[in-house]
Structure 1
């Protein structure tokens, strides 16, 4: 008896969770069913099926999805409410609506200055609680103008992306194209949620291109048009790999090699790249620059025994109006340091000019240096004596000229005197 009483109590607890509308379908006239554990299992399964059926019913109840603008008065219409004495509205099954509202005489629900808190599933019911209709409400804004930017990594590809100036809060669809002077061509969209498109084989030679992107959501659409010149936007990616090392035997040289970006054609013949390398001793503020028409360069004036920092960038070789790529990340390298056992006489002479001819070193003896100094002093003494003689002669000559002039003046005066 105790087991039967316990089973009956468990059945009552399970029965209390069965929705009221489904209790009439529950088998209650079989007391022998609840007296065994197998009967309780059957009842439990019936309870779960009932709950799932109610959840599925609520999901399928949504008969309308509406989109409205944030911050406005929103009216939800319950068409089947006409002719009924009263209508009750519920939000997510809750009869207490958490927003300022009122219900019109026709049974329509008006939400005042609705914001995101007012979103959800609204259901209308008659005075008997019978469900009439469910509306799912989403709030947001219509699309605004887009901020569009495009990147041209090579001659055969243009990548454009955009950012919304207005956060609409609603899903949007985009249509993208571009137009030159003679035709309109598509800009292929990337899969959502990416807001990008690509143009393959663009007409680079045209003087201008109009990028046209239209955004559309449930509240409206907006078109943004941007005029660009692809030639001016051409900007290669930075080189992929940069390698640098010291040159054995030359403590002032660094050999630098790099690979062209993967986004540039494998055969750069038709579209060559010019390169620029800049470098500096570590902790220095002054960069030195080397231009190269190839993918390598030789630094000949490195500071021996010091680590150096270097970066590389590239530009389209035919289009001087195009943009330089970004610099590669800074890398550090040290010149060749040599062996401590190697004498100074064994190290090769290094010159800044790689084509310079190495001249033989002139070794001067100490006596030769002394003779050179004596000859220089003698030359200075002779120059001083010659200069002094020249000045003395010039002074004497000037005095003689002044004396002759005075004599002539005196003679003229004497002749003019009466006898």
Structure 2
């Protein structure tokens, strides 16, 4: 059975403990030591200053028949020779509902001679920092910040220390700045060129003032893991002509990100204004997107956000909201027509449309506000249908004219074939070897036709029309 030597066991446990616990820079975080003549008070509280005892906040009666007066040092003036604003008289001075402005040096006097001087410090212990770090691009510094619930006291200071994990090198110290408008502390961590983006760093924060100190939890980060680009800019929504269900969204890279060296991927979300649910489109590598399922005639809200192209770090914040409406045919009767474009259902299930009174000028008086007419169920003739009907009519007329010309040519050809040429001598065929045969009949089978009336048709000439050339 394998057994671990006794001396190696504590070393192994110590090594595992170092792996599990983050390596803190080890900087002290606490208030500076207060002097014995300093009295600490919190905003809104009450404090009593005494002139005779050693304890600054004790209340003890001094010598009898002695008048004690109090003065507070004016800003920028020294408490020497009784200079300052005079306050109440008595062995003790009660200050109610302290404010930051009450901080200063208070002195008591007897007969114009100073007996004691106390420094009053009005401060609130600082809030515990909950830091978060981010980097706008690969070539920018790291920014670490944390918000505050209330404005810190004037003497509050914040520091940040950074060092590589599991190393013995000294930590880098950075002073943090308070931004009153945003109500947060911001610390800038400078990144030297060529720094490995994958190495873990330990970030420690400390906030302290005269009332106390507070250290935040150590945070382990990597430069690639804290990437968080700024939101895309110049986001626009454009309607596409003759596409009632499409919208084109365009945007630009943020100014803090250089697309010549590193790219971003984008996510677009949109929704029709009547709804609250967004439709999201991921993995967009271009700076534009076509929406194919937009609602006809409805305003849409669109937003875009960005992330590093390989998914390192976090998504940016969403861009500001922009709106756009798909294209609508201006000839469409149901498109927007100003104040006269409303539609509403009738009792029989059909729809009625409010038309402008100008269309009924001869029937509607000046006091009429509009006429409601029932929408017709008859479809409006399409220009394509009229074009097809006209083409068919032209083709029929052309065919009819062609047939007439053809039969006219056939009639003329038949007439020339049956007509005898002028000057031709007619010979009577006489059979050989016998007397001539008598004619078959002297009486014609059909009577000779009489003179025809003008415009009449001779029935015996109908074979002209049916003869073939």
Q: Please, what TM-score do these two structures have when normalized by structure 2?
A: 0.47
Q: Which sections of structure 2, spanning at least 5 residues, go unmatched?
A: 1-35, 54-62, 72-84, 334-380, 385-469
> What is residue 409 of structure 2 aligned with on the other side?
none
* 1:305 equivalenced with 2:277 (yes/no): no
C-alpha RMSD of the superposition: 4.2
- Counterparts of 1:351-370 in structure 2 under 5 Å? none
Distance 1:281 1:146, change over 3 A: closer
Asked if 1 retains the 8 angstrom alpha-carbon contact of 2:143 and 2:189, the reply is yes
| C-alpha separation in 2, matches of 1:164 and 1:306 | 42
Distance 1:211 1:72, change over 3 A: farther
Q: How many residues align?
A: 266
| C-alpha separation in 1, matches of 2:302 and 2:209 | 50
Asked if 1 retains the 8 angstrom alpha-carbon contact of 2:264 and 2:307, the reply is yes
* 1:66 equivalenced with 2:38 (yes/no): yes
| C-alpha separation in 2, matches of 1:160 and 1:246 | 41
| C-alpha separation in 1, matches of 2:148 and 2:276 | 41
How far did residue 142 of structure 1 move? 4.9
SS class of match (1:146): coil
Aligned match for 2:106, one of 102, 122, 127: 122
| C-alpha separation in 2, matches of 1:236 and 1:226 | 24
Aligned match for 1:180, one of 158, 161, 164: 164
* 1:242 equivalenced with 2:214 (yes/no): no
Greater C-alpha Rg: 2
Larger helix fraction of residues: 1
Structure 1 residues 315-364: Cα deviation after superposition (integer angstroms, max 9, x where no partner): 111125x3222222322211222442899788xxxxxxxxxxxxxxxxxx
Q: Please, what TM-score do these two structures have when normalized by structure 1?
A: 0.52
| C-alpha separation in 2, matches of 1:282 and 1:113 | 58
Aligned match for 2:218, one of 220, 226, 233: 226
| C-alpha separation in 2, matches of 1:167 and 1:255 | 45
> What is residue 151 of structure 1 aligned with on the other side?
134
> What is residue 208 of structure 2 aligned with on the other side?
216
Structure 1 residues 3-58: Cα deviation after superposition (integer angstroms, max 9, x where no partner): xxxxxxxxxxxxxxxxxxxxxxxxxxxxxxxxxxxxxxxxxxxxxxxxxxxxxxxx
Distance 1:130 1:329, change over 3 A: same
Distance 1:307 1:198, change over 3 A: same
How far did residue 260 of structure 1 move? 1.4
Distance 1:262 1:339, change over 3 A: same
Structure 1 residues 115-157: Cα deviation after superposition (integer angstroms, max 9, x where no partner): 727866532223x343455444223355463232333332323
Asked if 2 retains the 8 angstrom alpha-carbon contact of 1:254 and 1:298, the reply is yes
Q: Which sections of structure 1, spanning at least 5 residues, go unmatched?
A: 1-63, 98-102, 104-108, 347-419
Aligned match for 2:274, one of 283, 286, 292: 283
| C-alpha separation in 2, matches of 1:168 and 1:286 | 40
- Counterparts of 1:319-338 in structure 2 under 5 Å? 319-320=311-312, 322-338=313-329
Asked if 1 retains the 8 angstrom alpha-carbon contact of 2:51 and 2:116, the reply is no
